[in-house]
Amino acid sequence: MNDTNQIIISARDVHKWYGNFHALKGINMEVNKGEVIVIFGPSGSGKSTFIRTINRLEEHQRGEILVDGIELSHDVRNIEAVRTETGMVFQQFNLFPHLTVMQNITLAPIQVRNWSKKQAEETAMQLLGRVGIPDQAHKFPGQLSGGQQQRVAIARALAMQPKIMLFDEPTSALDPEMIKEVLDVMVELAQSGMTMLVVTHEMGFARAVADRMFFFDQGQIVEGGKPDDVFNNPKEDRTKLFLSQILSH
């Protein structure tokens, strides 16, 4: 847990509509520096949509989002500034198939941060070591397993040295035996003090490293709190029902 309680993400009354469908109905959340937040809930509950509003992959239509003091508005410079400080890991990895692992990782630092190629490649090698696949640097994403691809995706996001990492169901597209290798990397990252927002149903991960967790349903936060409280004493019936469904097997 973080002692300084410095707020790095602040979302106030965030609303989002897709046509007439009200996907987010007034989300309020404040995240402190170094906190690990787990977001869970049934599909269509708006949890992915919410974390995608934080780096403006989705535009919110009402309310206010501040990331590291920068307000997300229509100003492209603000959006790019926030994206530079925010890393994202996707369910489908979204690696660039025409680039090698090394190029996948170094592209943004070279093009956005204006690093030299040498500096970017050194950092990339360090990160590949950290996620446990230093020997795959010159392969193409298509030659790697799903778990390895997702670890490359994490390294790619970390290469920009972000202040915040967003994970959008990072293990949902993986075979069971590969989930652990990705979760291990995420646990290590959480312990290193990174601010993380993780949409996931991996309750073991949540119990181990989450500082707080939030249950989303129908575009709203139903309840949130410390993992112990949410797991052991859920206040709402919907939370109880959902937890019993995903923990029953």
Which residues lie near another protein (CB under 8 A)? Answer: 55, 57, 80, 83-84, 86-88, 90, 92, 94-98, 107-108, 111-112, 139-140, 142-143, 153, 156-157, 160
Task: Report the residue number, 9 or 222, with the smaller CB distance to another protein.
Answer: 9
What is the closest distance, in whole angstroms, from the C-beta atom of residue 124 to another protein in the complex? 13
Treating both helix axes as pointing N-terminal to C-terminal, what angle do 117-130 and 146-158 enclose, rounded to 10 degrees?
Answer: 130
Cβ closest to another protein, residue 56 vs residue 212: 56
Three-class secondary structure of residue 129 per DSSP: helix
CA angle 204, 182, 105 (to 5 degrees): 145
CB of 136 to another protein, least distance (A): 13
Minimum CB–partner distance for residue 175 and another protein (Å)? 19
Looking up tokens 């990339």 gives 124
Q: How far is the CB of 142 from another protein (least distance, A)?
A: 4
Min separation Cβ 47 and another protein, Å: 17
Q: What are phi and psi of 201, to 5 degrees?
A: -110, 15
First to last CA, the chain: 30
Pick the closer one to another protein by CB: 111 or 245: 111
Extended strands (E) in the chain: 7-18, 21-32, 36-40, 62-67, 70-71, 86-89, 164-168, 195-199, 212-217, 220-225
Closer by beta carbon to another protein, 94 or else 145: 94
- Least separation in angstroms between residue 80's CB and another protein is 6
Tally of CB atoms within 10 A around 205:
23
Q: Between residues 115 and 215, which has the closer beta carbon with respect to another protein?
A: 115
Q: In this complex, which beta carbon is closest to another protein, that of residue 2 or of residue 84?
A: 84
- DSSP, collapsed to helix, strand or coil, labels residue 64 as strand
